[in-house]
A and B are shown apart, each in its own frame.
Chain A
Amino acid sequence: NAGVTQTPKFRILKIGQSMTLQCTQDMNHNYMYWYRQDPGMGLKLIYYSVGAGITDKGEVPNGYNVSRSTTEDFPLRLELAAPSQTSVYFCASMARGGVGSPLHFGNGTRLTVT
């Protein structure tokens, strides 16, 4: 059971380039999330999804897009990368949105935009 898998682990982008961060989970979880974590800071929610075909913005969605065509996959798209998007990106999933459900995290993608 792989849990939540993120690819790539590391990436360097030039300003203005675009890329997709991949996230897949094999636990049949309905809820999936993208967080970013800047150095010395807490996790901030970028986008989330409560099921296939449903996505919504979190706290810091600008500069990103997501899609959820299947239960397993929740890719995060960066268009026109900017230095402010240099961060560690974590994808997470949750079995359900009710009381007591913890998050399961992927290993993270470390992105540098120069």
Chain B
Amino acid sequence: RKEVEQDPGPFNVPEGATVAFNCTYSNSASQSFFWYRQDCRKEPKLLMSVYSSGNEDGRFTAQLNRASQYISLLIRDSKLSDSATYLCVVNSYVYGNKLVFGAGTILRVKS
């Protein structure tokens, strides 16, 4: 089983739609969770950290479910500029506390 698993998509949604991604992780000892965004094989950029109580940043909401070992990202009112690959990132103690990346979920927002 992979340490971090994501649905690769693509998710094709119209502008203004709400879309949600889930990500599951296998290491119950993980403590740090993030969503990164990656455009056209450029470097990943931090979108938001994920906190235990859930957190929101504008149109983006992240949730953590420790019992089921998954995190989620909700995007409201999708914009064309949201089209990207969204990477779920979890810290892992397999390699001395490293950040492990999921393969990413592709989002395409269309007009």
Chain A residues with a Cβ under 8 A of chain B: 33, 35, 37, 39, 41-43, 45, 48, 50, 56-59, 88, 90, 94, 97, 99-103, 105-108
Contact = CB atoms under 8 A, between A and B. Distances in A.
The 10 closest A-B CB pairs, nearest first, are A42-B103, A105-B43, A43-B101, A99-B31, A97-B97, A102-B46, A42-B101, A99-B32, A108-B43, A58-B95
B62 interface: no
A32 B51 CA distance: 24
Interface residues of B, number: 24
B41 interface: yes
A94 to B, nearest CB: 8
A90 B32 contact: no
B96 A50 contact: yes
A100 B96 contact: no
B46 A58 contact: no
Nearest to B95: A58
Contacts of B100: 45
A12 B101 CA distance: 27
B87 A42 contact: yes
Give the one of A33, A42, A50, A56 with max B CB within 10 A: A42
Nearest to A59: B95
